[in-house]
Each structure stands twice: as structure tokens, then as C-alpha cells.
Amino acid sequence: MKRIIGGALLVLLMQTATAQETPIKDEQLKTLIQAAVTNYPRIKELEEQLKADDVKKEIIKAGYLPNASADINYTFIAPSPKVEFETPAGKTSLAFQPYNNYNAAVSVRQLIYDFGKIKLQLDRNEAERALNLETVDNTKNAIAYQVAQIYYNIQFLQKSIQVQQDQISSLKENERLIQAKIKNGDALEYDLLTTQVRTANATNRLNDLQTQLEKQYVLMQWLSGVDAKGKIASIGDDPYRADALNLVLEVGDWKTGNSDAKLIQKQIDVYEFDKKEASISSRPNLMGSASGGVRNGIQPDIDQFRLNGTVGVGLSIPIFSSDRPKLRQKLSQVQIETAKKSMQTLESNIQKDLATVQQDYKGLQEKLGNTNVLVTQAERAYKLAQVRFKEGLITNVELLDAQTNVENAKLQLVQLQYQSQLDKLESHKVVGSKIFQ
């Protein structure tokens, strides 16, 4: 029996670890993501705001503590109430109140029992703190996905630049061949100028790609605080070098995994406490009070200062409240129902978005298969064109067309690989996979 229980616990722990494991496998990308969620200013701002929840908690707990105050009063009363009566010595008078009245006292009020109102406020504060923590995690995850997208973009731009540089190298090799042919009288200057124009256009495209790459490095440094220029490994000829991401096929338990769903649920929890708070606001407060000090006006010598004190217990029962507790309950219920509708809308959007990404990925895989064949055919055709051009069987324009076909096919392949990688990343984003540690 103990073995069965132990095995069940082990499986549970393994499932929990798997659920919490990030789908990102690239260690360099993990490092950049961690740097971003640690250093990004907006996240620091949200984490700083969490301290306010701790202060609010202390303020609420202060309701259990006594309130003490010191009061000093002076009152002039005229006429002073008195009574006259006959005595053996003649008429005399007895004053009940002096003209000048002094009173100095220290008063203490202590909550004895509030029928759960402060406890509910503390619970609500904890729910609000959980909501704020979820907001921080939600923001971290959004930043992490931005970092991942920029990281993949950098890798595939590096690959595109390599393709473009290979194209320029081939064009320059063609220029060398044409110059040799011109010396031998087998080619025209027009052929050389045509090739040089192609080289210049290819160089411009290379500059555009390099500019895009520099912009991505700027964005990466802005998000992560790390200067990653020249430090991110290229994917080379292996499209899966980018990251061994898998495509999410099922929505799964999206309510516990999706960050937006968790955010909505935490907000519902806060609304529930608002509803309870409104329902118990009419409960009474049992208070104890005590005061002590010195004052005059105490018989028989009303001008003499004497010690005095009071102790009492009171019950404060709300009868009518201007903030209308019933309306507050109704408002909270409307907010709860609205949040639940938002959850339904989110579920529908998740299913739609995931199906869209899967369909897009399926189409990209078909295009990738065709483009791989196209690259192979274009490279073979270019090699044949080089041989035929050297033998004078085709013109320079035909050679350039064959070369352009290779370039276009390779750039298209890189773009399709990049889009496939983004689709896999987007599928995790749709279901709310957590990709930061």
C-alpha cells in the first residue's frame, strides 16, 4: 500500500514538474528571457507596486489595535447654575458649575468584536495581492514572448544575410568570368554592366537585411538589458537549430495554464470578496472605552481639580447606510457575471486562434516541402547554366536568371522556416504556456 501511495506521489510530482517546464530548450534564449523579466523597467515598476499590498495589510490589521487620544478642554459657562438657602449664619448659595471649566483626559477605544469585518478585509487584500502578482507574471510572460520572437528573427535574418552574401559572391564570380570573356572577345560590355547592376541590387538588399538585424539587436537590448550583437548563434543550414519547439495541438487545461484566464479568475475572487463585504457592512461593532484625567466642577468644591475616570462598553448597530449595501452587492454580482462572460469569450478565442495557427502551420509545411525541392532544382539548374555559359551555349542573362532563381528559392525557404518557428511559438502563447523561469 505504501509503495502504491509513493508511486502515485512520484507520478504527481513528475506531472507537476512537466506542467511547469518551459517549452524553450535553447539555453541562450532562456538566459536572455530571464534577463528581460529581471531587468525590464515596467516589470520592476509592477513589482514595486506590490509593496503597497503589504502596507494595506498592516493598515487593515491596525483596526484590531486600540485608539488612544488626549483631550484638553476649557469651557466658560454663564450664568452658573446655583441655589440659595437659609443657614443660621444667614443666606448662602451653592453653585453646581464653575464659570471656568477645565478638563484634561486620556481616552482609549478598543474594538472588542466586529463580527468578521476586518477579517474579510484582510482576505480581500490577499485576493487583490494574488491578482497583482498574476498581473506581474502576465507581463513577464508577454515580455518573454517578445524576446523569443526577436531572438528567432535575429537567427533567421542572419541566415538570410548569409544567403544574400553567397548570392553576391556568385555574382562577383560571374563578373570575373565575363571580364575574361570580354578579353577573349566572347562577351560584350553589356553583359558585364548587367551583372554589375544585379550585384548592386543584391548589395542593397544585403544592406536592408543588415539594417533590420541591427534594429533587432537594439530591441533585444531594450528588453533584456543585454548587448547581444554578434553573440547569438546562427541556425546555419539546420532550420531546427533555432529551438526544438513543438506545435501545441490541444487546448488542454487552459484555465489553469493560460495567463489571461488566471487573471480573470483572480479578478472574480476579488469581486466575490467585494460582494461579501457589502453584505456584512450592516453588522454591529462591539467597542470598549475608558478615559481618565483631571477636571474641576466636581462637588463639593467645584473649583478644585480632581482625578476622574470612566469605563464602558458599547454596541454600534448600523440602521441606515447612504452607500446602499444592497446596490453594492448587485454591482459586484454584475461584475462577476461580466468576468465569467469574458472567460467564455477567452475560451472561444483560444480555440479559434489555436485552430488558425495549426492550419497556417500545416500550409507552411506543404510549402516547405515544395520549396526544398525548388531549392534543389534551382541549384542544379544554376550549376548546369554555369557550365553552358562557360561553353558559350547560353547568354549572361540566362545565367543571371538561373542564379536569381537560386537566391529567391533560398530566401523563400528561410522565410517559411521562420514563419513555421513563429507559428510554434504562437501556439504556446495562445494556450498560455509559461516560458520564463
Confidence of residue 272 (pLDDT cuts 50, 70, 90): very high
Give tens-digit pLDDT for 55-104: 999 999 998 999 999 999 999 988 888 877 777 777 777 788 888 999 99
Residues 291 and 270 in one domain: no
pLDDT over 90 for what percent of the chain?
A: 46
Is it the case that residue 377 has pLDDT exceeding 90?
yes
In a domain, 344, yes or no: yes
Instruction: Return the closest-CA partner of residue 36 out of 153, 158, 148.
Output: 148
Give tens-digit pLDDT for 88-101: 777 777 788 888 99
In a domain, 195, yes or no: yes
Residues 221 and 100 in one domain: no
Instruction: Return the closest-CA partner of residue 24 out of 251, 245, 247.
Output: 245
Give the pLDDT confidence score for residue 1 in this predicted structure. Answer: 39
Q: Give the CATH number, domain containing residue 308.
A: 2.20.200
- Say how many Å lie between the first and final Cα of the chain, rounded: 36
Instruction: Return the closest-CA partner of residue 286 out of 320, 314, 324, 252.
Output: 314
In a domain, 387, yes or no: yes
In a domain, 17, yes or no: no
Residues 265 and 289 in one domain: no
In a domain, 169, yes or no: yes
User: Which structural domain, as residue segments, surrounds residue 409?
Assistant: 23-65+114-278+327-431
Give the pLDDT confidence score for residue 294 in this predicted structure. Answer: 93
Residues 229 and 369 in one domain: yes
Residues 300 and 349 in one domain: no
Residues 289 and 147 in one domain: no
Distance CA 226, CA 32 (A): 7
In a domain, 436, yes or no: no
Give the pLDDT confidence score for residue 3 in this predicted structure. Answer: 42
Across the range 289-306, mean pLDDT stands at: 89
Ordered alpha helix ranges (H), 26-112:
27-39, 41-49, 51-61
Residues 103 and 179 in one domain: no
Give tens-digit pLDDT for 161-213: 998 998 888 888 877 877 777 776 666 677 778 878 888 988 999 999 999 99
In a domain, 13, yes or no: no
Contact 420, 365 (CB under 8 A): yes
Number of domains in the chain: 2
Across the range 118-123, mean pLDDT stands at: 92
Residues 37 and 140 in one domain: yes
- Average pLDDT for the chain: 85
Across the range 307-315, mean pLDDT stands at: 91
Contact 259, 182 (CB under 8 A): no
Ordered alpha helix ranges (H), 69-188:
117-184
Residues 197 and 58 in one domain: yes
Residues 149 and 72 in one domain: no
Contact 273, 116 (CB under 8 A): no
Residues 270 and 366 in one domain: yes
Q: At what angle do helices 51-61 and 41-49 cross, to 10 degrees?
A: 0
Distance CA 153, CA 143 (A): 15
Give the pLDDT confidence score for residue 7 in this predicted structure. Answer: 42
Is it the case that residue 386 has pLDDT exceeding 90?
no
Q: At what angle do helices 27-39 and 189-224 cross, to 10 degrees?
A: 50
C-beta contacts of 14-21 below 8 A and 24+ residues apart: 19/257, 20/434
Residues 267 and 402 in one domain: yes
- Give residue 134's identity as a one-letter amino acid code: E
Distance CA 156, CA 68 (A): 69
In a domain, 96, yes or no: yes
Across the range 149-170, mean pLDDT stands at: 91
Give tens-digit pLDDT for 220-263: 999 998 898 888 887 765 555 556 788 998 888 888 878 889 99
